Structure 1
Amino acid sequence: MADLLWDDVSSFFDPDLMGSLPDVRVPNTSAEDWQAVLDLVAERGWKCQYSEGETVLPVPRAEAVLSRPADAECPDLRIWPAADVLAIFRFHADDEVDFDVDLRELQGQDRLDVFCGFLREIGRRLGKPVLMDPEGDDGHPVLGFDVEADRVVLLADPQVR
């Protein structure tokens, strides 16, 4: 059974309402949590690409990325949990795993199921909630992985279209 039904949550995937790149985050993390995400990517065999600026490099250990100089360019890790579904992780700080998704890639029940599965995998691995906020509106999650429920749940009322 699907965590969420498209007809119930489609407004949360409307780029005009949410911004096309909502913020997805796991608060209260550590370098070990970041490493657990990197390990998960490798274990699942998800296609990924790590880069620093324009330079593509092998995926390093999380500790190495998070200990780079403060003035260094922020690296990113692009992960494709499914074809045409991209999540871009940015290594801003060790205390929050954060990434962007493009809502234009997450239209319809099939893509919603892929997205919810991705959030579930990360949340289960870390044992922490994974929250999605409207673009630029941190602190007001609309949905997320609930650890106790072991599924993705609504955290706000869907807007009426």
Structure 2
Amino acid sequence: MADLLWDDVRCFFDPDLMGSLPDVRVPDCSVEDWQAVLDLVEARSWKRQYSEGEMVLLVPRAETVLARPADAECPNLRVWPAAEVLAIFRFLDDEVIDFDVDLRELQGQERLDVFCGFLREIGRCLGKPVLMDPEGDYDRPVLGFDVEADRVVLLAEPLVM
């Protein structure tokens, strides 16, 4: 059974309303949590690409990435949990696991199910909530993985379209 139904949440996947790249985050994290996510990506054999600037490299350990100099270019890890569904992790802070998704790739029930499954995997791995906020509007999550419910739930009232 689907965590969310497309007809109930389609407004939260409208790029004109939410911005095309909403912010997805796991708050209250540590370097160990980052490493757990890197290990999860490896264990699930999701297609991935780590880069620093234009240079594509092997995925390093989390403590190495997060210990880079403050003036270094921010590395990113591109992860495809399914074909044509991309999440871009940005190593900005060891206390928040932060990634973007492109709402234009998450249209319809099938893609919504992939996205919810991805959030579930991360949330279960860390035992923490995974929250999606409108682009540039932190701390106003509209949906996310709820640890207690063990599924993705709505955190805001859907907009009437």
User: Where do 1:20-35 residues align within 5 Å?
Assistant: 20-35=20-35
- C-alpha root-mean-square deviation of aligned residues, in Å? 0.2
- Structure-2 residue corresponding to 1:72: 72
Q: Is there any run of 5+ residues in structure 1 with no aligned partner, and where?
A: none
Identity %: 82
Q: Indicate the residue corresponding to 1:11 in structure 2.
A: 11
Following the alignment from structure 1 to structure 2, what is the Cα–Cα distance between the partners of residues 85 and 99? 13
Cα distance, 1:154 vs structure 2? 0.1
Q: Is structure 2 residue 98 aligned with structure 1 residue 98? A: yes
**What residue in structure 2 maps to residue 139 of structure 1?**
139
Instruction: Give 1:20 deviation, angstroms.
Output: 0.1
In structure 1, the residue matched to 2:84 is 84
Amino acid corresponding to residue 148 of structure 1 in structure 2: E
For 2:50 and 2:21, locate their aligned partners in 1 and report how far apart those are by CA, in whole Å.
19
Q: Secondary structure at the match of 1:86?
A: strand
Deviation for aligned residue 1:148: 0.2
Structure 2 gaps, min length 5: none
Amino acid at match of 1:121: E
Q: Report the CA distance between 1:84 and its aligned residue.
A: 0.1
Say which SS state the counterpart of residue 123 (structure 1) adopts.
helix
* 1:105-160, Cα deviation, whole Å (9 max, x unpaired): 00000000000000000000000000000000000000000000000000000101
Aligned length: 161
Q: Which residue in 1 is equivalent to 2:120?
A: 120
What is the alpha-carbon distance in structure 2 between the residues aligned to residue 158 and residue 94 of structure 1? 32
- 3-state SS, counterpart of residue 36 of structure 1: helix
- Counterpart CA distance in 1 for 2:97 and 2:35 is 10
Partner of 2:53: 53
After TM superposition, what 4+ stretches of structure 1 lie above 3 angstroms from structure 2? none
The 2-side partners of 1:79 and 1:34 are apart by 14
C-alpha displacement of 1:36: 0.2
In structure 1, the residue matched to 2:154 is 154
Quote the Cα distance in structure 2 between the aligned partners of 1:86 and 1:111.
11
Task: For residue 24 of structure 1, give the secondary structure of its aligned residue in structure 2.
Answer: strand
